């Protein structure tokens, strides 16, 4: 029987975002983040980091993302791809919270970095 992970409950206990990764899975091959942003929360930084790539999928609510003078609204079912140090700020414009998943892995040929 596969192990089950209650990511919404973990995200709630951990301030709105949790990572399912090395500690749970025992591997560096892949990881998944689950996040909840409430209207009025400080914008959440979306940034895979050096040697990492992520697909960010909006599960529910609307996600507004901004980087410099660029902005975009993402609806449930829409996803973006980020690589390395590419950085966006995500917020929930309301009236509902935004829930999202980030599925990530390591850039082929990149040295492994965490920290």
pLDDT band (50, 70, 90) for residue 83: very high
CATH 2.40.50.90 fits 7-106, yes or no: no
| Other beta carbons less than 10 A from residue 68's beta carbon | 7
Q: Domain locations in the chain?
A: 7-106
State residue 83 phi and psi, 5-degree precision: -135, 135
pLDDT band (50, 70, 90) for residue 107: confident
| pLDDT tens by residue, 35-66 | 999 999 999 999 999 999 999 999 999 999 99
Q: Where are the beta strands (DSSP E) in the chain?
A: 17-20, 30-37, 44-46, 52-60, 63-67, 70-74, 79-83, 88-91, 98-106
Residue 97 to residue 37: CA distance in whole angstroms: 6
**What pTM did the predictor assign?**
0.87
Stretch 9-21: mean pLDDT, rounded?
94
Stretch 83-93: mean pLDDT, rounded?
97
- Is the pLDDT at 78 greater than 80? The verdict is yes
């Amino acid at each position: 029987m596969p192990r089950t992970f209650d990511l919404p409950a973990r995200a709630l206990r951990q301030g709105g975002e949790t990572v399912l990764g090395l500690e749970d899975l025992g591997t560096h091959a892949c990881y998944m983040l689950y996040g909840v942003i409430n209207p009025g929360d400080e914008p959440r930084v979306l940034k895979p980091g050096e040697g990492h790539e992520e697909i960010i999928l909006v599960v529910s609510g609307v996600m507004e993302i901004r980087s410099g003078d660029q902005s975009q609204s993402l609806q449930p079912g829409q996803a973006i791809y980020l690589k390395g140090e590419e950085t966006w700020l995500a917020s929930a414009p309301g009236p509902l919270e935004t829930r999202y998943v980030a599925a990530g892995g390591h850039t082929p040929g990149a040295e492994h970095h965490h920290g």
